[in-house]
A = this chain, B = another copy of it.
């Protein structure tokens, strides 16, 4: 790992052709320019299915639960003056309404059917009106604070989440600005942002215990051209890390108030807080041309990815405070790996990818999308994981269908949580997903994520729009075919760039150019530059055989185990695929027998060992566990994101190998 990252020199403006506007992130200085929902669409496949379920089920599910839980009702109680007594939900419940609003905005933007779009916009406007009615004349908007019988405004910056809630409101407003040019939600958000700047400006003080406002204000500055919002974001970033917030039992690192952002070497503390803050810092760095600040975030990302990230891309090891552990503390059982941390990680890596163009950021986005974001919702889109453990030791109990569940349970997906940040966060992420597929850079188009898709964009300035069709059964098939359906101005050369994922290792992928030339390519970005003609095809052949992966030996929690990956997918053993009554505690695999694809599952050679309990579990080698181990055979593994869809089950990603602790009695066994 290279610990030293050279601060990039920002170009004075993002290169590229006519900007795509329907994007969640729009830096004015960056290596790459994003292509949003006005330029990209997912047309089917893995993510197409998930977008359909999100649209057909999850959005309404979230809206129903917000109503049932009373969190939407809080805004109505604010209008009728009954809030202080009647308020329901935690201090941050307003933000769930805002995240749903953002999801509705993106979903409307990606709809090609006019009636469906109009219906979504109407739902969004109606809910926006409910929110707007609760806004105070000076722009303040929060259902928990400031009214008679409630704590005063901003009286609890550590835990009150008022600025955090504004952040999500503003992100929703920015989405509306970028997809409809404005609207009632955008107006509410701008009024709130103006209030924040008036209250927390250069003459003010204070930061929020939960970062989020920073990235939202920077985006609002980009979307409106108002530099005051950017300056406010910058102030929040620079104020942080100086011990303004109270020294709570978790320590100030919990909310990143221990060390200034530009001085820190790693992400730490509460994972979602740390990642949202890093998003804001990246945005501020990009807008202000602050290469040092960007380098600080890149350095933190590098170290966090090398030492504090699960194989799934999940971040956050501790249940106690939803925080990163120390380096290499990555327990598989009780992995926290909050879904929202996955969302935030994708947001951060996307910002860093735009800023730098480095494919590594897209690699982590891919891993996180397939193994955290896709793992959270149930197949029907109506239940969710809040935490994403890598090892479920006892079969979970079926969560209540009619009331919120505790957030930290991992055994089965639940319809809603007392702290229910994840469902709406997944909904907005799935709705805007096409915005993470591709970018332009003035010299061509870069494809970062592979899905059946259609991309229409100016590849080089002034050369007209290019239409690309992406055809693939990825991630189950490694072949990705990019067809130039409509080229640029004839004869104009441009560059199609494709990411070769890092998971494939060196020299395992092939690129076939339109003229049939094949070349072997390795991780990073591969370029094809030519005057493309209609019908030209570029074929990327990525390896799709499953592979065993070993952990860094310092990750003590999974020593002596292998994981199985296939493309970007992490696989797992689930008890539903084991002999009746067996749990995953006893699985052993042979790491010398190559794993094999079978449809979407993977088969490995292994067994389910017998274990005789001893009355004390620590013993000298010569007294240890002479348990008979059955003959090795085939074990079925499934993609991690699909687990817990067949009822209560045990599950594990990391599989103990049989050539290690158990080699002695294995050799006496029937192998």
Contact = CB atoms under 8 A, between A and B. Distances in A.
14 contacts: A1-B615, A3-B613, A305-B616, A307-B613, A328-B617, A332-B556, A391-B556, A549-B619, A552-B611, A553-B609, A556-B561, A559-B560, A559-B656, A560-B560
Nearest to A318: B319
Given A559-B559, A559-B656, A329 B620 contact: no
Interface string A623-657: 11100000000000000000000000000001010
Given A327-B393, A559-B656, A617-B307, A553 B1 contact: no
Nearest to A307: B617
A457 interface: no
Contacts of A102: none
B613 A326 contact: no
A328 B559 contact: no
B251 A406 contact: yes
Contacts of A394: 326-327
Contacts of A319: 318-320
Nearest to A565: B618
Contacts of A615: 1-2, 302, 305-306, 360
Contacts of A360: 615
A591 B620 CA distance: 11
A118 interface: no
A531 interface: no
A399 interface: no
A515 interface: no
A251 B585 CA distance: 25
B550 A619 contact: yes
Given A306-B613, A318-B334, A556-B654, 8 more contacts: A1-B615, A302-B615, A306-B614, A318-B319, A331-B557, A391-B556, A548-B620, A552-B618
Given A585-B554, A661-B559, A393 B328 contact: yes
Contacts of A391: 556
A13 interface: no
Nearest to A554: B585
A1 B616 CA distance: 8
A547 interface: yes
A97 interface: no
A558 interface: yes
The secondary-structure label for the interface of chain A is: loop
Interface string A558-600: 1111010000000000000000000001100001000000000
A621 interface: yes
A167 to B, nearest CB: 25
Nearest to A660: B660
B613 A1 contact: yes
Interface centre among A306, A311, A660 (most CB of B within 10 A): A660
A502 interface: yes
Interface string A287-313: 000000000000000100111010100
A309 B660 CA distance: 24
Given A332-B556, A557-B331, A560-B559, A548 B621 contact: yes
Contact of A552 (B331, B560, B563, B625): B625
Contacts of A402: none
A553 B611 contact: yes
A333 interface: yes
A661 B560 contact: yes
Nearest to A504: B620
Contacts of A662: 553
A505 interface: yes
A113 interface: no
A591 B660 CA distance: 13
A82 to B, nearest CB: 26
A306 B556 contact: no
**Top-10 shortest CB links A-B:** A552-B617, A560-B560, A1-B615, A1-B613, A320-B320, A559-B560, A319-B320, A549-B618, A311-B618, A326-B393
A57 interface: no
